[in-house]
Amino acid sequence: MVIYTVRPGDSIYQVARRYNVTPEAIAETNGIDLADSLVVGQSIIIRTDTSTHTVNRGESLYLIARQYNVSLDQLLAANPQISSPYIIQPGQTINIPAQAENLGTIDVNGYAYPNISMSVLESTLPHLTYLSIFSYHVRPDGSLSQINDTPLINAARQRRVAPLMVITNIDDEEGFSSDLARTILRSQTVQDNLINNVISTIRSKNYVGVDVDFEYIYPDDRQNYNNFLQRLSDRLRPNGYTLTTAIAPKIRADQPGTLYEAHDYDFHGQIADHVIIMTYEWGFTFGPPLPVAPINEVRRVLNYAVTAIPPEKILMGMPNYGYNWRLPYVPGTAAQTITNQGAVNLARREGAEIMYNTQSQAPFFEYYDDQAQRHIVWFDDARSINARLRLVNEYGLGGLSYWTINNYFPAQWVILENLYNVNKIL
């Protein structure tokens, strides 16, 4: 597999000839239309074992390595005929090493809303260990909202994917509610009712366990939340059900803020089978323009997380979307959510060149709309996905958790399967 960055003048047909593959194969692998022009700076995946590059005037091995998303050492190892990395000539043929690797077997979770397209779901299930269906909203009396999850559960089990029930402290009108969490966590009677309803739903719907995604819990409810998870675990274990928790991306134990303080990394690492760390949303809807999951920030979270949680329990969060901001950014204004494929399509329509930030390992571009309003778009591509997926191996993590799988982006799954085997527990 080669990750190729499109240069000015490239077409699918030219790139296909260069790598001795068919244009149809490139289009299918990347989910693009043969009739579409490539975008300068766009990254595309080419399934090939070998490839070559003809040196152009002004190119260096360093620039060629960056273009093909390989290291300089990998490039030199594939070209023993090069006596010095500083001496190459225009017209010289350079061997490009393929990136086929097997870094081991991991667990992969995917969150899905009940309204997911069944064709998207069927295409994604082969790449998953768990399907977390989002979500049952907890009510103040411990009852649960109802969702149409049966089709998703049945489809998952047919593909040997384990379905997880998801419960959240989402108020239908306000989103994640600190007050709702407090009502639950400060009443043993309400908790008893909630736990009974969770067990009953798992059993009747044929789930394998529950994923607890309680967010924005008041800091002084931290121990109450731990106590609830302990009581829930004590009921799940004898029935053979699993407990997964979703937690905020902290960089230290005492990190301030309502999003972070009640999430006790050490305790979650002890009580849960899997801990999903939501390593995304540095760039978010009402925030300033930033990459959604910059690798330098994800590393800071993982550096702390592996000191508090057994690494093999951690599922690193992976976003499957980007954002489009208007510039100059005005605090409080909302960015528009955009799919990764939609971002490339937008860049094509606007004639924008896709750039790549090496610190955050994330692509972006700018453009002006029809009203002469400037925009910036941050999203994910094959390069950024490849860089973050390698963190699972680097840190010895248990795997990944995608938010969400409702939009199909082929690069996510091609790169995943190139690097790892996906565990199947059913």
- Kindly list the catalytic residues: 215
Q: How far apart are CA 302 and CA 391, in angstroms?
A: 9
Q: Which residues pair with 95 in a beta bridge?
A: 52
Q: Are 317 and 279 in contact (CB under 8 A)?
A: yes
Specify the length of the chain in residues: 426
Helix (H, G, I), strand (E, B) or coil at 7: coil
Helix (H, G, I), strand (E, B) or coil at 130: strand
The number of angstroms, rounded, from the C-alpha of 175 to the middle of its chain's C-alpha atoms is 22
Per-position DSSP letters for 210-230, written without gaps between them: EEEE--S--GGGHHHHHHHHH
Hunting for tokens 């954002």 — which residue is that?
323
Helix (H, G, I), strand (E, B) or coil at 254: coil
Residue 372: DSSP 8-state: S
Q: Are 398 and 425 in contact (CB under 8 A)?
A: no
Helices 222-236, 188-205: crossing angle, 10 deg rounding: 40
Residue 47: DSSP 8-state: -
Residue 303: DSSP 8-state: H
